[in-house]
Amino acid sequence: MDNILEMRHITKDFSGVKALDDVNLVVKRGEIHALCGENGAGKSTLMNVLSGVYPYGTYTGDIVYNGQVQKFSDIKASEKTGIVIIHQELALIPLLTVAENIFIGNENLMYGGKVIDWEETQRKAAEVLKSIGMHENVNRKVVDLGMGQQQMIEIAKALAKNAKLLILDEPTSALNDEESNTLLELLLKLKKQGLTSIMISHKLNEVSRVADSITVIRDGHTIETIERDHGTPIDEARIIKGMVGRELTNRYPERHAQIGEVVFEVKDWTVHDEDDPTRERLSHISFNVRKGEVVGFAGLMGAGRTELAMSLFGHTYGFESQGHIYKDGQEITMPTVQSAIDQHIAYVPEDRKTYGLVLIDDIKWNMSLASLKSRFSKKGILNPDAEIHAAEDYSKRINVKADSLTQRVESLSGGNQQKVVLAKWMLSDPDVLILDEPTRGIDVGAKYEIYTVINHLAEAGKAVVVISSEMEELLGLSDRIYVLNEGEIAGELQKGEFDQEAIMRIIMAHSARRETA
Amino acid sequence: MMSQAVPMNKNDAQMREHLKSLKEYGMIIALVVIYAIFAFMSDFKNVSPMNVNNLIMQNSYVIVLALGMLLCCLTGNVDLSVGSVVAFSGAIAAIMVVDYQMAIPLAILAAIAIGLLVGFWQGFFISKLGVAPFIVTLANMLVFRGLALVVLNGQTKGPLPQEFTQIGAGYMPQFFTTIGGTKFELLALTAGLLLSALIVFMEIRSRRNKAKNGFEVPSVAASVFKVGVSVIIVNFFTVKLSMYMGLPLVLMIVAILVAFYAFLTNRTVPGRQIYAVGGNRKAAALSGIKVNNVMFWIYVNMGILAGLAGVILTARNASATPKAGDMFEMDAIAACYIGGTAVPGGEGTVTGAVVGALIMGVLNNGMSLLGWSVDVQRVVKGLVLLAAVAIDLHFKSKKNS
C-alpha cells in the first residue's frame, strides 16, 4: 500500500502560540486513519491545514498528497483534488431538499453552465444515496430527517464531490449507538470500495473498532501512530495513555455516597407532544431518585428522555402535562423554570452551546445566571463582589481552566464550557440535579473530571439524574437505571444486573409489546 | 488565581481586553475628532457657548430615545415606531393645552401615559402573540404617524405657553457672576466640578475593586488619561453652558435618565436579564428568565421614553406638528450601533449609546452650521453609521481569526 497523504513537519501558530508543532501524519491509501487527542490538542487545526481552511503560507511544512506537494489556497482547491472535510457541525441547509443539499456548491448545470438541471440533480442524488445504501426520497427536506440520516447526507455530499480522501470530524458525536453503528458500517463499506478516510473521534470504542491506524496528538505534537495488528482492534487504554500522557486506570472514579430516602418522585406523568397535541409523547411515567443516588436514564434517540426532563423542569416542553411530582414527600408543581429553581431542582440541558450558555458573556455572568435572584442580588440590585467570589470558588472547586473569570465562555474548550454550566446549576443550590448528556463531545480527561463532580454531588447528598446516549457511561455512573422507550418506562435495572445487553433486551421487548398491543 | 492557564487563551484574553478598551476610547476619541474637525471648518462657530447649548437642546430627545432603543437593540431588535409616537404624544399634549386649556402637568402626564399605552399595545403583540418586533413596530410607525395627522388635522398646533415650553427650552435657576469681564453661571460650573469629582472617585473605587478581586488593574497612566479626558469633556460643556444661560432643564432630565439606565443595565437583575435574553434566548429561558416578560417591559419602557421625548420636542418647538419626530427612530438606532451595540444583541452600553447619539448630534449640528443641505447631511450620517459598524465588525473578526 502506498501513502495517499503525508503531512510533514507541519507547524502552525496563532499570534505566537504554536497550535501545531512539527506534526507528522502519514495516511495509507485505502485505510481508515483515526486522529485522537484531547480537546485543544490540535486535531481540528491539522485538518483545517489539510483542507485549505488555513491556506498555504500560513503554516510551515509540506502537505504531500498523491506524491505531490500541495499548496491549497482555500477549501475549493483541496476539494478539487478529492480531499473533502465533513465538520462536526453539519453544513446542511435544513429547509432545502436532500438532492439540493447534496449538490450545493457543486450544482449540475445545463445550457452552458448557467441554469441548474434539476432532473439531473435528482437522478444523481438518488444514485449517490443508493451507493451508500440509503433509501430516502431525495425531495424530502433535510429538516425532516434524523441526525443519523443527516450525517449520511453529508457523506453523500462528499461522495458527489468525488472524494478520494474523506475527513470526518466527530461524525458520531450527535448520534445514538444504533445510528453510529450504521455510519461506521458505511465507512467500512466505503473503505472496501477504495475510499480513504481520516476520522477524528472521542469515542475510543468506535475508533478501535474501525481504524486501521491511529495517530495520537497531544498539545500540538504527534505522540505516536499505532497500527492495527492484523484484525486485533487497537487497545483503548493504549490510546488514552497517549492522549493524556498518563495511564487512566479507571475511567469512572469511585463514589462513596450514602444512599438515603427518596427525595424526588414522579408518578403517572403524561405529556402531550408539542407539535402534535393529540399525541401522547410521554405516558404514565413513574420514577424516583434517592438522596445520594445517581440514577441513569437509558434509551434510544427519540425515546423521550430530554422531553421528560424538560416537561418536569418548568414545563419547558409539551402540552397538558398531567401527573404528580413529589419532593421530600410533599407534592409540588413547577409551572415555571423559576419555580423549579426555587424548589431546588436543576436541569443541565443537553447541547450546552444552544441551551446552556450565553456564549458572548463571560464565565462569571454565565455561572450566576440561574441564581441572580436567590443569591446575587438584594431587591433587584446585583452584588458583583458576591458574583466574583462565587465564580472564583466554583471555578476552583471543579477545576475550570481559564485565565480569568472575565473570559468569554465561547473561547473555552468544550469540557470547560460544560463545567461552567455545571457550576451555574450547582450555584442554584439544588437538591435534585438532572444532567442531560453531561459529557457530549468532550474528551476523556474532561469526562473524568465531570464524573468526579457528579460523584461529589452525590456524596454531598444530592439526588442526581443522568441522561446519556453513551451506554457505557450510564453503566459506569449509575446506581440504578431506568430504560425509557417510546415515551414509556420500559424497565428498571439495579446496579449489578445492568449491562448493555440487558438494556437493549428491555428496549426490544418493550417495542415488540407495543407493536402487538 | 486559577490553575493551568492555557497559553493561547491568555494571549487571547489580553487581546480582548485591549480591544474592548480601544473600542470604548475609540468612540470618545472619534467624537472629539469629529467635533474638532467641524470646529476648524466652521471657524469655531460650533464651540461657541450658544452653539454648545443648542447642541444639547437639539440632541436631548435623541439621547432619551437612544436609552430606550439600547434595551431593544440589546435583545437584537429595534423599535421603528418611536418617531411616530413622539409626534402623536406631543400632538395630544398640545391639543389638551391649546384647545382645551387643560393644566400643563396634566397634559405632560397624558403624553407620557400615551407612550405607556403604546408600549402595552406593542408589548402585547410582541410577547403574547409572538409577532416579530420589527413588524409590530413597523406597523405602528404607520399607525401613529397617521393618528398624529388625524388628531392635528394635518396642521401645526400652537403656540404653547411658556410654562410648557420651558421643559424643552428652559433653564435651571441661574446665578450669574462676572469673572475677568466674562459672565459665568455658577450652578453650571459647580455641576461640572461635582461631576469631575465623581468621575475621579468612581475610577479610584473601580481600581480598588479590581485589585481586591484579583483582576488586572489598568496602569495609572491609562486611568489618568481616561479620567483626564472625561473631566475635560465634562468641564468643556459646563463652562460653555455657564457662559451662556446655565444648565438647560432638559440636560437635567437627560442626566437623571442616563444615570438611571446605566445603573439598570450594570447593576440590576432586570438589566442582566436583558443581556442574557439578547445573548442567548433559549439559555436565558432555561435559567428561569421569563423572556416574554422581559420583552414586554422593554417595549413598555421604550413607549414611556417616546412619550417623554414627545413632550420635550413639543416644548422646544413650542408647538406640535404632524411631521414631528420624523426619522427619530433611525437616529436612535444609529446612535446605539455607532456606540458599539452588537447587532445580534447581548452587547452594548449606555455610555456607548450616549456617545453614539452625541456623534450623530455633532455631525448634524456641524453640517447645519456649514450650511450643508439636509440631503447631504443624510448621506454623511448614513456613511458614518456604515463605517462605524464595519469597523466594529472588522475588529471582532480580527479577534476571532
For chain A, which residues make up each domain, given as ranges?
3-244, 262-344+431-516, 361-429
Report CB contact under 8 Å: A401, B3.
yes
Chain A contacts of B285, Cβ < 8 Å? 316, 337
Q: What is the pLDDT of residue B4?
A: 38
Assess B270–A contact: CB distance below 8 Å, yes or no.
Answer: yes
Do residues B328 and B306 touch, judged by C-beta distance below 8 A? Answer: no
As given in the structure block, the three cell numbers for residue A333 are: 408543581
Give the residue among B237, B229, B330 at the shortest CA–CA distance from B46.
B237
pLDDT of residue A248: 60
As a dihedral over the C-alpha atoms of residue B96, residue B100, residue B104, residue B110, rounded to 10 degrees, the angle is: -30
Mean pLDDT of A185-193: 92
Spatial contact of A323 and A272, defined as CB atoms under 8 Å apart: no
Residue in B closest to A346 by C-alpha: B287
The Cα–Cα gap between B74 and B284 comes to 14
Q: Distance from A389 to chain B by nearest Cα, in Å? A: 8
Q: What is the pLDDT of residue B251?
A: 95
Lowest model confidence (mean pLDDT) among A258-262, B148-152, B207-211: B207-211
- A75 contact B CB<8A: no
Per-residue cell: B369: 452650521
Nearest Cα residue in chain B from A220: B8
**B116 or A444: whose pLDDT is higher?**
B116
Subunit contact B287:A403, Cβ cutoff 8 A: no
Number of continuous H segments (helices) and E segments (strands) in chain B:
15, 2
Least confident of A54-63, A217-226, A472-481, B158-167: A217-226
B211 in A contact zone (CB under 8 Å) = no
∠ CA B26-B32-B36, nearest 5°, is 140
Give the pLDDT mean for A43-59.
90
Between helix B249-267 and helix B269-279 the angle, nearest 10°, is 70
Q: In the prediction, which pLDDT does A220 show? A: 86
What pLDDT shows up at residue A411? Answer: 85
Under 8 Å between Cβ of A326 and A301: no
What sections of A272-413 are H helices per DSSP? 305-312, 337-342, 363-368, 384-397
Residue of B nearest to A352 (CA): B283
Listed residue (B53, B51, B97, B99) closest to B311, CA to CA: B97
Nearest chain A residue to B344 by CA distance is A360
Size of interface A-B (CB pairs under 8 A): 131
| Residue B9 confidence (pLDDT) above 70 | no
* Residue A64: closest CA among A7, A10, A11: A7
Three cell numbers, residue B22: 480601544
Going from the C-alpha of A256 to that of each of A141, A423, A452, A455, the distances in angstroms are 50, 21, 11, 8
A379: contact with B, CB 8 A cutoff: no
Q: How far apart are CA B15 and CA B21, in angstroms?
A: 10
Q: Cell digits for B183? A: 459672565
CB contact under 8 A, B11 and A16: yes
Q: Look at residue B132 and tell me whether its pLDDT is greater than 60.
A: yes
Closest CA to B170 of B66, B87, B280, B245: B245
**Out of A355, A405, A412, closest to residue B283 by CB:** A355
- Report pLDDT digits (tens) over B77-88: 999 999 999 999
Nearest neighbour of B280 by CB, restricted to A16, A359, A407: A359
Q: What is the DSSP pairing of strand A17-28 with strand A3-14?
A: antiparallel
Would you identify the CATH topology of the domain A262-344+431-516? Answer: Rossmann fold (3.40.50)
Question: Is residue B265 over pLDDT 50?
Answer: yes
Determine the distance in angstroms separating the CA of B286 from the nearest CA of chain A, rounded to an integer: 6
**B342 contacts on A by Cβ (under 8 Å):** 360
Retrieve residue B88's grid coordinates.
Answer: 402623536
- Phi, psi (deg, nearest 5) at residue A30: 80, 15
Question: Cβ of B286 under 8 Å from any chain A Cβ?
Answer: yes
Nearest Cβ partner for B13 among A359, A382, A404: A404
Instruction: Kindly write down the DSSP assignment for every residue of B383-400, as one continuous string.
Output: HHHHHHHHHHHHHHHHHH
Q: Do B290 and A338 touch (CB under 8 A)?
A: yes
> With an 8 Å Cβ cutoff, is A343 touching chain B?
no
In chain B, the percentage of residues whose pLDDT exceeds 90 is: 77
Instruction: Look at residues A185, A186, A176 and name the one whose alpha carbon lies nearest to residue A153.
Output: A186
Of B11, B284, B347, Cβ closest to residue A17:
B11
Long-range pairs, A223-227, Cβ under 8 A, ≥24: A225/A25, A225/A26
Query: B275 and A361 in contact by Cβ < 8 A?
Result: yes
> Minimal Cα distance from B276: which residue of A?
A358
- AA letter at B324: A
The 3 state secondary structure assigned to B242-301 is HCCCCCEHHHHHHHHHHHHHHHHHHHEHHHHHHHHHHHCHHHHHCCCCCHHHHHHHHHHH
| Three-state secondary-structure class, residue B32 | helix
Nearest to A380 among B213, B268, B286 (CB): B268
DSSP of B185-217, one letter per residue? EHHHHHHHHHHHHHHHHHHHHHHHHHHHTTPPP
B6 and A CB contact within 8 Å: yes
DSSP of B35-48 = HHHHHHHTTTGGGS
Question: What confidence tier does B2 reach under pLDDT thresholds 50, 70, 90?
Answer: very low
Contacts (Cβ under 8 Å, ≥6 apart) of A420: A357, A363, A366, A367, A400, A409, A412
% of chain A surpassing 90 pLDDT: 57
A408·B287 Cβ contact <8 A: no
Of A338, A389, A407, Cβ closest to residue B9: A407
Contacts of B208 (CB under 8 A, 6+ apart): none
Say what the pLDDT of residue A359 is.
93
C-alpha cell, B85? 409616537
For helices B350-369 and B49-74, give the axis angle rounded to 10 degrees. Answer: 140
Distance between CA atoms of residues B287 and B272, nearest Å? 12
CA gap B387, B26 in Å, rounded:
13
pLDDT tens profile A279-305: 899 999 999 999 999 999 998 777 899
Strands A196-200 and A165-169: parallel
Which residues on neighbouring strands pair with residue A220, listed in sequence order? none
Question: Which amino acid would we find at residue B183?
Answer: K
| Residue B57 C-alpha, separation from nearest chain A C-alpha, in angstroms | 32
Buried residues in B101-110 as b, exposed as e (16+ CB within 10 A): eeebeebbeb
Name every chain A residue with its beta carbon within 8 A of the beta carbon of B287. 337, 369-370, 424
Give me the helices (H) in A112-235, please.
118-131, 147-160, 177-192, 204-210
> What residues of B are in contact with residue A387 (Cβ under 8 Å)?
none
Helices (H) and strands (E) in chain A, counts: 16, 24
ipTM surpasses 0.90: no
- Contact list, B216 vs chain A (CB under 8 Å): 404
SS3 at position A363: helix
Sort A8 into a burial class: Cβ within 10 Å, 0-12 / 13-18 / 19+.
middle
Contacts B15 to A, Cβ<8 Å: 15
Interface test with B, best of A359, A392, A404 (most B CBs within 10 A): A404
Domains A3-244 and A262-344+431-516 share a fold: yes
Q: Is A358 on the interface with B (CB under 8 A)?
A: yes
Task: Please judge whether B268 and A392 are an interchain contact, meaning their C-beta atoms are less than 8 angstroms apart.
Answer: no
Of A46, A73, A78, the residue nearest A169 (C-alpha): A46
DSSP-derived pairing of the beta strands A213-218 and A32-36: parallel
N- to C-terminal Cα distance for chain A? 55
Residue A167 clears pLDDT 90, i.e. is over it: yes
Q: Give per-residue pLDDT as tens, A356-387.
A: 999 999 999 999 999 999 999 999 999 998 99
* A-contacting residues in B 165-204 (Cβ below 8 Å): none
Give mean pLDDT, residues B268-297.
Answer: 96
Residues of B in contact with A16 (CB under 8 A): 11
Q: What pLDDT digit, counting tens, does each position of B308-347 carry?
A: 999 999 999 999 999 999 999 999 999 999 998 988 899 9
Least confidently predicted of A390-394, B237-241, B393-397:
B393-397
Give the position of cell 410582541. Answer: B126
Cis amide linkage into residue B159, ω under 30° from 0:
yes
Task: Please tell me if residue A216 touches chain B, with a CB cutoff of 8 Å.
Answer: no
Interchain contact A424–B (C-beta under 8 A): yes
A399 touches chain B (CB under 8 A): yes
> Per-residue pLDDT averaged across B221-228, rounded?
88
Distances (CA, A) of A273 to A270, A347, B128: 10, 20, 21
Contact A358 B3 (CB under 8 A): no
* Per-residue model confidence (pLDDT) at position B1: 35
Q: Which CATH class is domain A3-244?
A: alpha beta
Contacts of B13 in chain A (CB under 8 A): 403-404, 406-407
Q: Does B213 touch chain A if contact means CB atoms closer than 8 Å?
A: yes
Helix (H, G, I), strand (E, B) or coil at A83: strand
